[in-house]
A = this chain, B = another copy of it.
Amino acid sequence: MNTTVTIDLQRASQLLKLLGDPTRLTMLKLLKSHECCVCEFVEIFKMSQPAISQHLRKLRDIKLVKEERRGQWIFFSINENHENYPFIQSILEHLPEQNESIAELEEQGLRVCCQ
């Protein structure tokens, strides 16, 4: 008996295409352990704010990430309830932790904390 949950091939290729971009893949890996807001990604990737926003929109459109406004900032987090989260997770597991990026942000005092 085969109990492995499989994922439709069209769907899988759609998800893989989204992950097949270094910026979005790193974003997801980061979001797996830390919430981040847009301005943090701008610092981490040294990329323009609209570019970051557009990547996040793609991830949000297929509901891989959630957003939550807190004051001025919008925090993004990974959507663990996504139908295909196990698939996504099994991919992210193979990637090295991106803690350095976050550590650097903190050193520079650029990490957004707002509780």
Contacts and interface: CB of A to CB of B under 8 A. Distances in A.
Main secondary structure of the interface of A (DSSP, over half): helix
A16 B19 CA distance: 6
A21 interface: yes
B17 A94 contact: no
Interface in A5-29: 5-10, 12-22, 25-26, 29
A39 to B, nearest CB: 22
Contact of A25 (B13, B18, B90, B96): B13
Nearest to A17: B20
Contact of A94 (B6, B26, B95): B6
Q: Which 9 pairs, one residue from A and one from B, show the smallest C-beta to C-beta distance?
A: A17-B20, A16-B20, A13-B22, A20-B20, A6-B96, A16-B19, A13-B25, A16-B16, A87-B94
